[in-house]
Structure 1
Amino acid sequence: MKFTILDTERTNNFNDVDVQSKIANLWTRNMPAIKEASAQGLVIACIYHNYASDYKGDYSVSLCVEDDNGVFDTSSTTWQEYTVKPNNQDGIFRTWQTIWSAEERNTLNRIYTFDFERYSPDGTISILIAV
């Protein structure tokens, strides 16, 4: 699967006080394109890339849509998939905490090329980590 970038922000989970508003605004600014892509049955992705170091460093976050000509190609990477629990308001953040914890325990060996949240047309959400 390939993804085309709609919009990008640069941030840090631990040192940027505006991290939540930056990501929320990314979604808000692109909501018309997201709704159109969803109506067409396309996957939406929130892709994390251009890492300065590890999950504690700066990174770019891009909101993307499924596109056969996209710049992010998931086919050449091995992924560790984490399913986000449905109907959990904090599910995405809690899943990221699980990922970071696994990394701290050395049970997850990330390669930091790019990782992504996959928002499927059926409403399921997964986080895929490049390993």
Structure 2
Amino acid sequence: MKLTVLDTERTNNFNDADIQGKMAALWQHNMLAVKKASHEGLTVACVYYKYESNYQGDYSVALCKEDSNNGVFDTNKNSWKEYPVDSNDKLGVIHTWQKIWSDEEEHKIDRVYTFDFEQYLPNGAISILVAIG
């Protein structure tokens, strides 16, 4: 699957006081494009890339949509570990990222930090895919 960028931000999980505002703005400013993509049966993704170091450093985040012709992120270029998100949990995405960080700290996964993404399928299912070595 290839993904094309709708909008992007730079942030940090631990020292950016405005991280929630930045993430919310990405979605709010692109809501029409997101709804259109979902209506067309396309996957929407939140892609994390340009990592300064690891999950504790700065990184860029891009709101994207599936685009097999013009996508700049190609998911076929990496191996992935998929983490399903509990859609009944309001904080499911955050809790899943915390699980990923824990797995990394416990050496259960070997992340390569090319890019990772939250995958929002048209049927409402959400999962997080992290690039692994």
Q: What's the TM-score once normalised by structure 1's chain length?
A: 0.99
Q: Distance in 1 between matches of 2:58 and 2:115?
A: 13
Q: What letter is aligned with 2:40?
A: Q
Matched position secondary structure for 2:34: helix
Q: What is the match of residue 66 of structure 2?
A: 66
Equivalent pairs, count: 131
The equivalent of 1:120 in structure 2 is 121
Shift of 1:25: 0.6
Residue 108 (structure 1) shift: 1.1
Matches within 5 A, 1:75-94: 75-94=76-95
Secondary structure of the residue that 2:77 maps to in structure 1?
coil
After superposition, the C-alpha distances for 1:11-68 in whole angstroms (9 at most, x for unaligned) are 0000100011100111000001001111100000000000000000000000000001
Distance in 1, Cα, partners of 2:120 & 2:20 = 18
In 1, distance between residues paired with 2:77 and 2:27? 27
Q: State the distance in 2 between where 1:29 and 1:71 align.
A: 20
Q: CA deviation at 1:76?
A: 1.7
Per-residue CA deviation, residues 55-98 of structure 1 (Å, 9 max, x unaligned), is 00000000000001200000121000000012210100000000
User: Matches of 1:76 and 1:47 in 2, distance apart?
Assistant: 14
Aligned sequence identity (%): 60
1:54 corresponds to which residue?
A: 54
What is the distance in 2 between the residues matched to 1:90 and 1:4?
26
Quote the Cα distance in structure 2 between the aligned partners of 1:121 and 1:30.
16
Structure 2: distance between partners of 1:86 and 1:49: 24
- Structure 2, unmatched stretches of 5+, are none
| Alignment partners' CA distance in 2, 1:94 and 1:75 | 26
Report the Cα distance in structure 1 between the residues aligned to 2:95 and 2:31, rounded to whole angstroms.
24
Give the TM-score normalised by structure 2.
0.97
Amino acid at match of 2:107: N
Give the secondary-structure state (helix, strand or coil) at the position aligned to 2:38.
Answer: helix
Match of 1:33 in 2: 33
SS at match of 1:75: helix
Query: Tell me, which stretches of 5 or more residues in structure 1 are unaligned?
Result: none
